[in-house]
Amino acid sequence: MSTATTATAGTAEPDPGRPRASFADVLRSEWTKIITVPSTFWTLLAGSLVVIGFSVLWAFAFTSTYDQLSPDARADVAPTSPMQIAFYFGMVIFGVLGVLVVTAEYTTGMMRTSLTAVPRRPVYLAAKALVLGGVVLVVGEAVSFLSFFLSQAVLATKDISGSLGDPGVLRAVAGGGVYLALIALMALGIGVIVRHTAGAVVVVFIVLFVLGIVGGFLPGQWGETVAKYLPSNAGSAILVPVEQSGVLPPWQGLAVFALYTAVVCAAALAVFQSRDA
Amino acid sequence: MIQARGLTKRYGHRTAVDHADFTVRPGHVTGFLGPNGAGKSTTMRMILGLDRPTSGDVTVGGRRYPELGAPLREVGALLDAKAVHPGRSARNHLRCLAQSNGIPERRVDEVLALVGLESVAGKPSRGFSLGMGQRLGIAAALLGDPPVLMFDEPVNGLDPEGILWIRNLMRNLAAEGRTVFVSSHLMSEMALTADHLVVIGRGRILADTGMRDFIDANATSHVLVRTPQAGHLGPLLAARDWRVEVEADQALRVYGASADQIGDVAADHGFRLHELSPVQPSLEEAFMQLTGDTVEYHAGGPARPAAGSGDGPPAAGGGLPQAPPPPPPTIGDDLHGGGHRA
Ligand SMILES: Nc1ncnc2c1ncn2[C@@H]1O[C@H](COP(=O)(O)OP(=O)(O)O)[C@@H](O)[C@H]1O
Ligand SMILES: [Mg+2]
């Protein structure tokens, strides 16, 4: 064993003049972390394939049944309808990525190594959230636009396609990527709180998927109002080009979802700060 | 330098660390010795800011760990060798850590070479053996070239070659002037590596002293005497207020006398001596005497030698003990009870 540890002459005690790690350093580290595990690639690929694939499939479903639809039902078909449904099925997978980036650290013990390197926990969590949010935003936008264009190609066969120039469509499609990024962040918060992968994924699934379905069964006026504010119903309002009854206005819906995300992340930060690692 | 003052950690009603005061100084390998469950890992987690002390505090170089600007440049720690993402390669694992502390990335390849992992640096750590994982953990600890290093049970599960390597590494790091703090429940390991000791039992610091001082203060040296006439020499020696124990093979252990004195007595009375050797007490003996009733866990065997080895003065004028004392217990260790022959 050589002693060559690039001996810093007279290493005795930490020198207060030594460089401080900056937030950019921590960001860079989190970026390297997220791109150097295979699970990131696979979850993003799975999420993308499901959303894009389902968008196309549902576009086919619409075109093949369009002739049998009543005029009322036809009026409800928007160019973004296929991707709305596809998002409902695929969004949980982006949530899984948000869960994994943190629960994988807990279950492997990497969390302790990470917090030894970055002991200021809000800094660590903020860098993780920014990188995750950034990655999912970019991929999510690509997925959203691809879903839109591919489904339009199918819808065009029945002349029911739209374009980004139609009222509210660009906002709906661009908003889809933002929605996915928020989903990942909310899942990150849930992952921090729950710490176990399976448990956190179940919570994400219930919050995003099950609650949305339960909302559909709530009775009366009161039920309809509550249903509008359920997380996935509020969030997916951004995918609706023109305001619809039973759905919050697009921006308001996304804002409600962002608020939920902020609350979950604030709670996550609070427990993360106070808990032993 | 690591300094703990009144450091306390409770988990519910269980006190894992109890008002610990100790100082770990540069230039030495300081052993953190205590049986399993004594609170070593908990103490180390508190040093690293991972667990929050219930009360008291601990500083590294005068500052609490979370206040360190680039902690990996100031403290390197190996807590758990498996604390890496199994899907990430060794090199990428180290790159993440280096980047987070603004450590130049060429340092990654330096430490990989230093621990001998270059050939597997690109492979996911999932396939690593325990020894390789340990080396990766040590590479991470050395990454920031820190003046303070901590290792929690670093030799657990290693093969003899790996143990020797780590032992030399720690000695070299201390020789470079660094602070090296290493925990173990293995007596023999501590005896070979550490020159300073912090002894912990049931969360309490029992000693914070030099290795030699610790042994001298907590165990007495004695002289091993073999003679075909043990039945006669033994009472003769005991009559001089020296404490005498008889081993199963009739060897005598004489406390309170020098080899010269015993040799003279034997010669004066015409006894044949087949062996007359001063025995330095081992760390294990000292440890057992100190922690006799604080030890929570034994790897089998009685908690402490039955009669005759208490820390009180030898029984004055006492005769021979009735029965030979049972061999001292071992704590998962290879040291034999008699200690090292001087
Ligand atoms: N996270 C924890 N929750 C509850 N008890 C704990 C926790 N960590 C350690 N302990 C308890 O604290 C005591 C000290 O444990 P530890 O520090 O791991 O000892 P050592 O490392 O010396 O073997 C043990 O009794 C252990 O059960
Ligand atoms: Mg331990």
Atom of ligand 1 nearest to the CA of B296: 25
Nearest to B281 by CA among B331, B321, B222: B222
Dist CA B113 CA B95 (whole Å):
14
- Give the pLDDT of residue B291: 66
Q: How does residue A153 score in pLDDT terms, banded at 50, 70 and 90?
A: very high
B263 to chain A, any CB pair closer than 8 A? The answer is no
- Give the pLDDT of residue A264: 98
| Helix/strand/coil (H/E/C) assignment for every residue in chain A | CCCCCCCCCCCCCCCCCCCCCCHHHHHHHHHHHHHCCHHHHHHHHHHHHHHHHHHHHHHHHHHHHHHHCCHHHHHHCCCCHHHHHHHHHHHHHHHHHHHHHHHHHHHHCHHHHHHHHCCCHHHHHHHHHHHHHHHHHHHHHHHHHHHHHHHHHHHHHHCCCCCCCCCCHHHHHHHHHHHHHHHHHHHHHHHHHHCCHHHHHHHHHHHHHHHHHHHCCCCHHHHHHHHHHCHHHHHHHHHCCCCCCCCCCHHHHHHHHHHHHHHHHHHHHHHHHHCCC
Q: Best interface-test mutation with B: which of A18, A110, A116 has the largest number of B CBs within 10 A? A: A116
- Give the pLDDT of residue A3: 42
DSSP structural state of residue B312: S
Say if CB A143 and CB A180 are below 8 A apart.
yes
Residues A117-145 have a mean pLDDT of: 97
Question: Which residue's alpha carbon is at the smallest distance from atom 6 of ligand 1?
Answer: B11
Mean pLDDT in chain A? Answer: 91
User: Chain B residues with CB inside 8 Å of A6's CB?
Assistant: 107, 110, 145
Distance B11 CA to ligand 1 centre (A): 8
Among B9, B14, B33, say which to mutate for ligand 1: greatest number of ligand atoms within 8 Å of CB: B14
- Give the pLDDT of residue B292: 60
Contact: A13, B73; criterion CB under 8 Å: no
Say if CB B259 and CB B278 are below 8 A apart.
yes
- Give the pLDDT of residue B115: 92
- What is the number of other CB atoms lying within 10 angstroms of the CB of residue A167? 10
Spell out the per-residue pLDDT of chain B, length 342, in tens. Answer: 999 999 999 999 999 999 999 999 999 999 999 989 999 999 999 999 999 999 999 999 999 999 999 999 999 999 988 889 999 999 999 999 999 999 999 999 999 999 999 999 999 999 998 889 999 999 999 999 999 999 999 988 788 888 999 999 999 999 999 999 999 988 888 888 899 999 998 999 998 988 888 777 777 788 899 999 888 898 888 888 888 888 888 889 888 888 999 999 999 999 999 999 888 777 777 777 776 644 333 333 333 333 333 333 333 333 333 333 334 433 334 333 333 433
- Give the pLDDT of residue B319: 33
ipTM associated with this complex: 0.88
- What is the number of other CB atoms lying within 10 angstroms of the CB of residue B87? 16
Nearest bound ligand to CA B80? Answer: 2
Contact: A113, B97; criterion CB under 8 Å: yes
A8 to chain B, any CB pair closer than 8 A? The answer is yes
Strand order of the β-sheet with B196-201 is B75-78, B148-152, B179-184, B29-33, B196-201, B204-210
Region of poorest pLDDT, from A82-96, A155-169, B35-49, B273-287 = B273-287
- Give the pLDDT of residue B86: 92
Contact: A276, B65; criterion CB under 8 Å: no
Could you read off the pLDDT of B67-121 as tens digits, one per residue? 999 999 999 999 988 889 999 999 999 999 999 999 999 999 999 999 999 999 9
Look at chain B and count its residues.
342
Q: What are the Cα distances from residue B87, in Å, to A39, A50, B57, B132, B285?
A: 8, 24, 36, 15, 45
Residues A161-166 have a mean pLDDT of: 89
- Give the pLDDT of residue A222: 87
Which amino acid type is present at position B215? I
- Give the pLDDT of residue B25: 95
Residues A171-183 have a mean pLDDT of: 97
Partner residue facing A277 (CB), from B50, B99, B142: B50
Q: How does residue A86 score in pLDDT terms, banded at 50, 70 and 90?
A: very high
- Give the pLDDT of residue B328: 40
Dist CA A88 CA A232 (whole Å):
8
Q: In terms of pLDDT, which residue wins out, A1 or A38?
A: A38
Beta bridge partners of B127: none
Say if CB B137 and CB B78 are below 8 A apart.
yes
- Give the pLDDT of residue A212: 87
Partner residue facing A117 (CB), from B79, B97, B165: B97
Considering only residues 80 to 119 of chain A, which have any Cβ-Cβ distance to chain B shorter than 8 Å?
A: 104-105, 108-119
Considering only residues 43 to 102 of chain B, which have any Cβ-Cβ distance to chain A shorter than 8 Å?
A: 45, 48-52, 60-63, 65-66, 68-75, 77, 79-80, 82-89, 92, 95-97, 99-102
pLDDT at A47 over 70: yes
| H or E, element range at B254 | strand B252-255
Structure tokens at B313: 């003065």
Which amino acid type is present at position B31? G
DSSP state letters, B181-217: EEEES-HHHHHHH-SEEEEEETTEEEEEEEHHHHHHH
- Give the pLDDT of residue A70: 86
Distance A213 CA to ligand 2 centre (A): 48
Partner residue facing A1 (CB), from B52, B169, B178: B169
Contact: A20, B69; criterion CB under 8 Å: yes
Residue of chain B minimizing CA distance to A119: B66
Dist CA B77 CA B284 (whole Å):
27
Nearest to B100 by CA among A131, A17, A43, A268: A131
Residue of chain B minimizing CA distance to A10: B177
Atom of ligand 1 nearest to the CA of A276: 1
User: Chain B residues with CB inside 8 Å of A36's CB?
Assistant: 88-89, 92, 95-96
User: Chain B residues with CB inside 8 Å of A7's CB?
Assistant: 176
What is the CA B194 to chain-centroid distance, rounded?
7
Region of poorest pLDDT, from A164-173, A183-192, B157-166 = B157-166
Contact: B85, A110; criterion CB under 8 Å: yes
Partner residue facing B142 (CB), from A5, A32, A274: A5
pLDDT at A18 over 80: no
Q: Bin B321: left if φ > 0, else alpha if -120 < ψ < 50, else beta.
A: beta
Residue with tokens 């988990």: B11
pLDDT at A154 over 90: yes
Question: Which residue's alpha carbon is at the smallest distance from atom 4 of ligand 1?
Answer: B11
User: Which residues does ligand 1 sit against, CB inside 6 Å?
Assistant: B 11, 14, 16, 34, 36-42
Residues A218-222 have a mean pLDDT of: 87
Residues with CB under 5 A from ligand 2 (ion): B 40-41
Residue of chain A minimizing CA distance to B171: A3
pTM of the model: 0.83
Dist CA B133 CA B136 (whole Å):
5
Considering only residues 166 to 225 of chain B, which have any Cβ-Cβ distance to chain A shorter than 8 Å?
A: 168-169, 172-173, 175-178
Q: Which residues contact A237 (CB under 8 A, 6 or more apart)?
A: A247, A248, A249, A250, A252, A253, A254
Among B42, B156, B291, say which to mutate for ligand 1: greatest number of ligand atoms within 8 Å of CB: B42
